[in-house]
């Protein structure tokens, strides 16, 4: 999540008319950070669910992931439309995304117990 936050923050800080090569690093960091965060979140949710409820846990996790994605796209589009121009709206959207990633990383750090301290399912 920190890699995703760094990528989105780099994208937001790139300025109104950055060179494409300046955006390659932040875009790659945001993409890799997102893919690693989703993999870790899936593993955490599925390992916390009892075996008898694994299908329900998977369905609930994927439903909330889809709702979050749709809400994020809608919010980003609203910010782009409301901004004075596309570059300002894009930078605002990326900055909010970076802040959301940082908040999610803090929640994961403080709320997800280390593997050895998790309660046994069942």
Overall average pLDDT of the 26-46 stretch:
90
Query: Is 109 within a domain?
Result: yes
Identify the pLDDT of residue 86: 78
Q: Is the pLDDT of residue 35 over 60?
A: yes
- Greater confidence (69 vs 88) lies with 69
The answer to whether position 91 is within a domain reads yes
In a domain, 54, yes or no: yes
Q: How many Å apart are CA 16 and CA 23, to the nearest integer?
A: 12
Domain count, the chain: 1
- Does pLDDT of 116 surpass 70? no
Domain span including residue 104: 2-114
Q: Is the pLDDT confidence value at 34 over 80? A: yes
pLDDT in tens, 43-81: 888 888 898 999 999 999 999 999 988 998 888 788 777
Which pLDDT does position 85 carry in this prediction? 76
Query: Phi then psi for 95, rounded to 5 degrees?
Result: -65, -40
pTM of the model: 0.75
Residue 6 has pLDDT above 90, yes or no: yes
Helix axes 20-48, 86-111, angle to 10 degrees: 30
- Determine, yes or no, domain membership for 120: no
The one-character DSSP state at 18 is -
In a domain? residue 8: yes
Q: What is the rounded average pLDDT for all residues in the chain?
A: 86
């Amino acid at each position: 999540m920190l890699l995703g936050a760094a990528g989105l923050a780099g994208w937001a800080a790139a300025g109104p008319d950055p060179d494409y090569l300046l955006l390659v690093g932040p875009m790659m960091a945001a993409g890799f950070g997102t893919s690693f965060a989703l993999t870790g979140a899936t593993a955490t949710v599925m390992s916390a669910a009892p075996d008898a409820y694994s299908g329900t846990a998977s369905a609930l996790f994927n439903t909330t992931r889809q709702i979050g994605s749709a809400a994020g796209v809608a919010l980003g589009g609203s910010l782009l439309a409301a901004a004075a121009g596309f570059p300002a709206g894009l930078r605002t959207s990326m900055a909010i995304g970076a802040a959301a990633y940082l908040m999610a990383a803090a929640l994961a750090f403080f709320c997800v117990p280390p593997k050895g301290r998790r309660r046994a399912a069942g």
